[in-house]
Chain A
Amino acid sequence: MNMIEKILAKASGKKEVVPGDIVVANVDRMVLHDLSSNLVSKVFENEMGGGTMFDPDRVAFVFDHTFSPPSQADADVLTEARRFAAKYGIRNVFDSGSGSIHHVIIENGLWAPGDVIIGCDSHTTVYGALGVFSTGVGNNSMAALGYAHGKAWFRVPETVQVRLHGPLKDGTTPRDAAQFLEGFLGEDSAVYRAVEYAGPFIENLSIEDRMLFPLMAIDLGAKAGYINPDDKTAAYAHKYSRRKQSELFKNDPDVQYAKVIDVDLSKLEPQVACPPTVGNVKPIGQVAGTEIQLAEIGGSTGGRLGDIRALAQAIQGKTVHPNVRLQVVPVTRGVYLAALREGLIEIIIEAGGIIFPPSAGSNQAVNMGAMSEHEAMISTQARNFPGRNGHPKARHYLASAATVAASALAGRITDPRT
């Protein structure tokens, strides 16, 4: 069995599972953001009539879409979430300004290798970089099986192994590699399947950079993404996880894959996902010169300390282009503090950037980041589908922090190597 099969077998009390089996697994953690927690609360109280929550300590709320309600309706969403948490005894509540949901959970150690984690958010796949099986489920699943019984149902997925080979050229980053795969493999290439990221390129990455791959596996259509846990996973768990006793569920040596794909990244140029979809990925040369009005370092796939460092390095002593608003959204409070202490925030403000509270940033334009019809943004966010950021014809380009930084200075999409 591979990591996911072993974790699902353990969580469902079985000796062995094979792809295609339907299992009802015990869930270790259920993570909800402000919007999804409201939708699940409605199912739990209105459609099911409330009742007892199986174990409120397994539930965590992170209010990441709204950092300060711009309307009464938004305020009501947060008030409702706080009321629900208080009523049912949910103690793990990270209120507005804590950061982007999964990064907050990771930074606060509410996970351990071998766990099953579910969320009503498709990017719940990120914990696959930490030796965890994690995926998104619907509101009814979360309420009826998760809240009520501490369980979830899964079909054990077939697994595709993607073996990545580097090293990357100077100026090309792990984000470019993850973005490239969405175009190269295709947005529907792994529907219902799990994707294991492997190979020397993955082994050499930091955990922070590894997270990009399971995170972005969702936009290959995958149920889950994961990296076979190793010493780096164990060290990271030791540092962050609140539960010090956990087990690494490593692939058996004879594990079988539905498919194995080898990808050479050593000649890769910086990549940009262009409108209208995450899979419309082009080498930077094909889109360089496109004018932009918004640039953002933020989101679950950006706003990490490494991204903010890359930005600060690129813009130190320079000035953001007068036609561009540069928005910087640290992904957690911890990242914000670290950036502050390193002097990065000062550099960004002096260059004309705007710092926003730790949050999901312009993701879905709930609290910020809406555009007019003819505007364009380049960001480190995860998604660019039409209508996610204001007018359906507004254009959203996705790229690495280095490319976003170079573009913010030039006012147009710019190769960071030039």
Chain B
Amino acid sequence: MTPLILEGACWKFGHNIPTDMITPTAYVMRGMGEMVKHVLENANPDFPKNVQKGDIIVAGRNFGCSSGRAIAPKAIKASGVGAVIAEFFSRTFYRNGPEIGLPLLEAPGLHDLVETGHRIRVNIEAGIVENLTTGKSIQGRAPSGLLLDMLRAGGLIPLLKSDAGKVLLES
């Protein structure tokens, strides 16, 4: 099970952040222990040094574009981040997040509402983001269907071991 209601400090990133910047190629094949030390360092060198368990990433448009490497959401999850919320995600990142059990939420209009360091609360299933620092909130696009099933199960692999997964394979 992955927690789907989360509260944490925000790290804000810009638009069109490619997976190359989330997980630099030089470390992709060097194991997760090494990869985590470099996650997002080219976008913000402080991130891998100071990210805390339960922190939340807030991004702009098309987060996770370029290469479809699933190690990008895996490395973010391994860094302790509890969820990534964005204006919208690249298609491959939007698949890979729920498949590996990293909660994602799309909330257009979000980017202007949040700054790095703000505390935010996210309810993935309800699609709501609250900025606890400013008191503002925004309704995003709550995931449904298979995406929500994967998030609830903690990813595609645990889902496929469940009854819902057997139904999926027979559909």
Contacts and interface: CB of A to CB of B under 8 A. Distances in A.
A138 B92 contact: yes
Contacts of A120: 68-70
Contacts of A145: 156, 160
Nearest to A392: B42
A73 B29 contact: yes
B55 interface: no
A93 interface: no
Q: How large is the interface on A (under 10, 10 to 19, 20 to 34, 35 or more residues)?
A: 35 or more
A196 interface: no
Contact of A364 (B16, B20, B94, B155): B20
Nearest to A21: B145
A387 B68 contact: no
A153 B168 contact: yes
Interface string B44-74: 0000000000000000011001111111000
B10 to A, nearest CB: 22
B124 interface: no
B1 interface: no
A385 B62 CA distance: 14
A223 interface: yes
A139 B70 contact: yes
B13 to A, nearest CB: 14
Contacts of A43: 157
Contact of A139 (B15, B30, B71, B89): B71
Interface in B64-106: 65-71, 88-92, 94-96, 99-100
A365 B26 CA distance: 8
Contacts of A387: 20-21, 24-25, 42
Given A223-B91, A366-B25, A24 B62 contact: no
A221 B65 contact: yes
A141 to B, nearest CB: 6
Contact of A137 (B15, B24, B95): B95
Given A143-B157, A188-B62, 5 more contacts: A141-B99, A141-B156, A188-B16, A277-B16, A392-B42
Interface of B: 15-16, 18, 20-21, 24-25, 28-30, 42, 61-62, 65-71, 88-92, 94-96, 99-100, 145-146, 155-157, 160, 168-169, 171
Pairs of residues from A and B, 6 with the lowest C-beta to C-beta distance, nearest first: A138-B70, A136-B68, A188-B62, A138-B96, A122-B68, A139-B70
